[in-house]
Chain A
Amino acid sequence: MAFYRAHVLVCKGTGCNASGSSSVFDALGEEIRKRGLDQEVALVETGCHGMCEMGPIVVIYPEGSLYCRVSVDDVPEIVEEHLYKGRLVQRLLYTTPDRKVKVPRYRDIPFYSKQHRIALRNCGYINPDNIEEYIARDGYAALAKALTSMKPEEVLSEVKTSGLRGRGGGGFPTGLKWEFCRKAQGDKKYVICNADEGDPGAFMDRSILEGDPHAIIEGMTLGAYAMGADEGYIYCRAEYPLAIKRLVGAITHAEEFGLIGDNVMDTDFSFHLHIKEGAGAFVCGEETALLASIEGERGMPRPRPPFPANKGLWGKPSNINNVETWANVPNIIRNGGSWYASIGTEKSKGTKVFALTGKVNNTGLVEVPMGTTIRDIVFDMGGGILKDRKFKAVQIGGPSGGCLTEEHLDLPVDYESLTAAGAIMGSGGLVVMDEDTCMVDVAKFFLEFTQRESCGKCVPCREGTKQMLLILEKITSGKGRMEDLKILEDLAIMVKEMSLCGLGQTAPNPVLTTLRYFRDEYETHIRDKKCPAKACSALISYLIDPEKCKKCGLCARNCPVKCISGDRNTPYEIDQEKCIKCGTCLEVCPFQAVFKE
């Protein structure tokens, strides 16, 4: 076997792929061959590195240098300078947003150095299509340990000791959930992976599926062993084609190696794993709706009890865990439950992956110990707010979560603290907002989503979210009345308390938290017919400052409805009657003469 002195890792996760990493990968291959380095430099495709903002990402070992936003044009320079001559390509290194310092080593970048990667430990490090790379990183060692030296109840007890809680949002203790299923009567049991990640802005599950699919397979196999199941389903949305492709490949490889299938590792234990593609309905992330969807029924929730642990898929005892939860399991079995329990806070153990998006410098995935503050995540790892604007709020937990403000920046992120503040951990979406974000508009955005995704089975959710949305639309278009706020709040509490499933029970959270922390913004919209953040289009007008206008006519030429008049001698003016408030004029004006009021 050839000795590869250097490994060039190209991220082929969905984010980097979208910014062109596939052509970078091909160009690197060609350039390395052209330079005659193909016998000594290995080119490897990996899953997501997490720092999607900087993609396409290329990491070169043994130095561990990370290059950002690599384009095909950069390839010859990387190969000649770095691989051939051993000189770093300075201009492609990561630069910190605040101090303008170049960081040559991957691990020293603040985005990575503050992370504690357990669920993401292989993402961006191994080739997800190569089972041997997973095994080289202690993959399937936990399964081998369990099958050769542990009884099923011992596996269960390690998971209980670890304190792991459901990472899909509910936060229910995983060990306890497993125990219910283990104790349930039945000769046939199922384990299921909920990979129906649907929150706008959340992509941690997708990254694990794409970057380390074997971790999920190993976790589920361990779960099946502990609970006495012999069959499993991964319910993954069809909108994740790459994740499905990697899963299919990984399942085939694991079967070839005898790590799933009949008589796993030559023992009496057998486990068969299938993939079920979902059509992307948000409600199918709710476990009873998910079960219905696997069975071929319409994806709608049903009342619990009976819980899936007793009466699940096709009426058999079933256990459903989220992707991130399963990915933690092999680590817990390999290193022991007490190791995992030593990380995190008193009641929230281990780490959590967050998808950091919105008005923040480093968007991407971060995995941090429970109890890390929002400030650390947004300002240290996230690199602060885009364009040095002022931080306003962060929406945590997606459309089911809530908005937290500046006063919560030092709040430790764990299940209890977030719930007390009115938000939820959710699946871990973190949308950062700056001073230009209107909180009423944000509440409307998330409610539009949940209202559209409501399955319609129960009245509070179907009608309640619709009525709430109508009120928010009234307020943002300047037609609200003060008494609407009371109605909105009453409706929100009603929907929260009376809905059948988690979708409706959490849908009002964005409205309730914004009402709690930003009530004055709602009142300004109603009383003064003004949007303080200048975001609600019905409440603002675009104007041209005649002092600043240089009469270039760029705004008039770009206006899609031709409502700007003027010429070389007369200052340009916007016809407020015709203006559709698209904001194009403001964007194109080179002299900042266009402003919002």
Chain B
Amino acid sequence: MKVKSLEDLRKIKENAKDLTSARSGGETRVIVGMGTCGIAAGAREVMTAILEELGKRGLRHVAVETTGCIGMCQREPLVDIIRPGEPRITYGDVSPGDVPGIIEEHLVNGRVVEDKVVGQTD
């Protein structure tokens, strides 16, 4: 496509942002426990659900990371959500079906989904 105006360039930039946004280490982070315990409890499926949901909503600024076992194996899969300037909230027993709700309520609207929370760190 030919760039014919400032607006055209801005559009390409907007679309292209996704190409490099993961490299800037976003302020909003989702961290999935991927220790052996997490994987056994279905963390892979949860991860796939998270990526699908973020893709669907176009939330390209979110950094999705994995982490090892944090010791609370009986509550796996564990998913942490960190919003800029807010405490880190850990959700336990997360199933793929819980993912859209957590993302919409907490990640987008900033309301913690209390009944799934297992911990909070500042």
Residues of A whose CB lies within 8 Å of any CB of B are 1-7, 9, 39-40, 42, 61-64, 83-87, 125-126, 130, 132-133, 135-138, 140-141, 144, 148, 256-259, 265-266
Contact = CB atoms under 8 A, between A and B. Distances in A.
Most chain A C-beta atoms within 10 Å of own C-beta, residue among B6, B18, B19, B67: B19
Interface stretch (B21-29, B86-94, B113-121): B21-29
Contacts of A83: 66
B9 A144 contact: yes
Given A62-B24, A86-B66, 11 more contacts: A5-B51, A61-B24, A62-B25, A63-B25, A63-B65, A87-B68, A133-B20, A140-B9, A141-B9, A144-B6, A265-B5
30 contacts: A3-B51, A3-B64, A5-B47, A5-B63, A6-B65, A9-B23, A39-B51, A40-B47, A42-B22, A62-B24, A62-B63, A63-B65, A84-B66, A85-B39, A85-B68, A86-B34, A86-B66, A86-B67, A87-B68, A126-B20, A132-B15, A135-B12, A136-B19, A136-B20, A137-B20, A138-B13, A141-B13, A148-B6, A257-B2, A265-B3
Given A62-B22, A133-B16, A85 B66 contact: yes
A132 B12 contact: yes
Interface residues of B, number: 39
Contacts of A62: 22-26, 29, 63-65
A4 to B, nearest CB: 6
Contacts of B1: 256-257
A64 B25 CA distance: 7
Contact of A5 (B22, B35, B68): B22
B66 A135 contact: no
B25 A61 contact: yes
A126 B12 CA distance: 16
Contacts of A87: 67-68
A265 B4 contact: yes
Contacts of B18: 1
Contacts of B34: 84-86
Contact of A86 (B4, B6, B12, B65): B65
B20 A86 contact: no
B19 A133 contact: yes
B84 interface: no
A259 B12 CA distance: 13
A265 B12 CA distance: 14
Contacts of A126: 20
A130 B23 contact: no
Nearest to A107: B25
Nearest to A3: B55
Nearest to A132: B16
Given A64-B25, A135-B9, A258-B3, A5 B65 contact: yes
A60 to B, nearest CB: 10
A266 B2 CA distance: 9
Nearest to A2: B55
A148 B22 CA distance: 31
Closest 9 CB pairs of A and B: A86-B66, A5-B64, A258-B2, A3-B55, A62-B63, A136-B16, A132-B16, A266-B4, A61-B23
B54 interface: yes
Given A63-B25, A136-B17, A137-B20, A85 B35 contact: yes
A240 to B, nearest CB: 26
Nearest to B9: A144
Contacts of B16: 132-133, 135-136
A19 B51 CA distance: 35
A7 B23 contact: yes
Nearest to A41: B22
Contact of B51 (A40, A125, A258): A40
A86 B51 contact: no
B25 A135 contact: no
A6 B23 CA distance: 8
Contacts of B5: 148, 265-266
Contacts of A135: 9, 12-13, 16
Contacts of A258: 2-4
Contacts of A266: 2, 4-5
A126 B13 CA distance: 14
B62 to A, nearest CB: 9
A120 to B, nearest CB: 16
Interface string B78-111: 0000000000000000000000000000000000
A40 B39 CA distance: 16
Interface in B37-84: 39, 47-48, 51-52, 54-55, 60, 63-68
A140 B26 CA distance: 24
Nearest to A140: B9
Contacts of A2: 51, 55
Contacts of A85: 34-35, 39, 66, 68
A42 B4 CA distance: 30
Nearest to B25: A62
Contacts of B15: 132
A7 B13 contact: no
